[in-house]
Structure 1
Amino acid sequence: MKLIINGKIWNIVSAYAPQQGCRDEEKEEFREKLEEYIESIARTELILIAGGMNAHIGESGNGYEGVHGGMGFGRRNVESGRLLEMAEAAEITILNTWFKKRQSYLITYKSGQNETQVDYILVRREDKRLVMDCKLIPGEPVMTQQRLLVADFRMKSGRKRRKEERKKIKVWELKK
């Protein structure tokens, strides 16, 4: 979906990667199509990708410092390589990992004793400066196991608004 906000074109993508049990060919095809889509968008346009990437990218950036902010959750799995490499190649950053949060606020999926971070919001590296925060909304389950992930963006309009000056009431002159 494309939106125009304050004269800038925003490409908003909802993406859901194949799950753990799917064939490697499906996973690779998903990654390639997402990479192609990102490359097709002009650098002057902003891109926001949000969704379930079904990858555990872990708590540290180890080798992916421009992509991973070092504040993730858990340990990496096999799928993390696909996501991190794609993000590195496309100059995309994973917002969830750039903001310090309590551990319980990093978990996007919880089922029984299993807790993990598999949902992410991604933007181009140069657009990370527009992001004020990326967080989970506590107590707002999207489904019974998922948690809602949101990002707050700085939206500047070209005009400065003037504050309306209110006339002060001089109480001492009310008697006149």
Structure 2
Amino acid sequence: MHGSGSAGVGFLLNIQAQKALIEWEPVSSRLAKARFRSKQFNVTVFAVYAPTRVSSEQAIDTFYAELNEAVKKTPKRDLLIIGGDLNAHVGSRQANDDRSLGIHGYGERCERGTRLVQFAQANNLVIANTLFRHKPSHVITWRSRDGRTSSQLDYLLVSSRWRSSIQNCRAYRGPDTGSKGGSDHTLVKMSEDQASGS
């Protein structure tokens, strides 16, 4: 369904995920939560769509306040994953960054990127996209309709205690990426060590 494109998040679940679903909560038009049962632990996933760069600081503050509150309510034993369009450029790890960020980010950090890195640090999360070296086409997650501009705006954030289980994280272009009526964003996929039990 096409709308204004100003907000909206959700989940598309396969049958296995549907059977494992414990709860679902549409927190706001920019934030939704789903919790799943797994063999050794439960998994809480947030789908997010951060305000764009033309949005007010108040809109950004509200988004991060809602996300922070939702994360704080997540059971500590859960594997926490946050994924979506965070409308930020985080770049690569800088001297004053901790291990929340890897050395393989794309582009230069912007103010919204600093905000995202600070959020990750405050909540003991790692930005998985930045952990692995890939060619640019597997890092870029957004392309303008005219194909002249590209960036990394979509991220997967994971509880830092699960960092060693992450085997890969990269973007995958689909057949409709950048097409008329299709998405200007790419799918970001993360794989993990199956020995972790999820």
Q: Which amino acid aligns with 1:71?
A: H
Residue matched to 1:151:
190
Instruction: Spell out structure 1 runs of 4+ moving beyond 6 A.
Output: none
Name which structure has the greater RCO, CA cutoff 8 Å, separation 6+: 1
Establish whether residue 42 from structure 1 lines up as the match of residue 37 from structure 2: no
Q: Which amino acid aligns with 1:154?
A: D
TM-score by length of 2: 0.74
Contact 1:51 1:121 in 2 (8 A): yes
Q: How does 1:12-161 map to 2 (within 5 A)?
A: 12-111=45-144, 112-141=147-176, 143-156=182-195
Root-mean-square deviation (CA), in Å? 1.7
- Which has more strand, going by share of residues? 1
Establish whether residue 2 from structure 1 lines up as the match of residue 2 from structure 2: no
Choose 1 or 2 for highest CA Rg: 1
Contact 1:67 1:93 in 2 (8 A): yes
Count of matched residue positions in the alignment of Structure 1 and Structure 2: 158
Alignment gaps of 5+ in structure 2 = 1-33
Offset at 1:148? 0.9
Contact 1:6 1:156 in 2 (8 A): no
Identity of aligned residues (%): 25
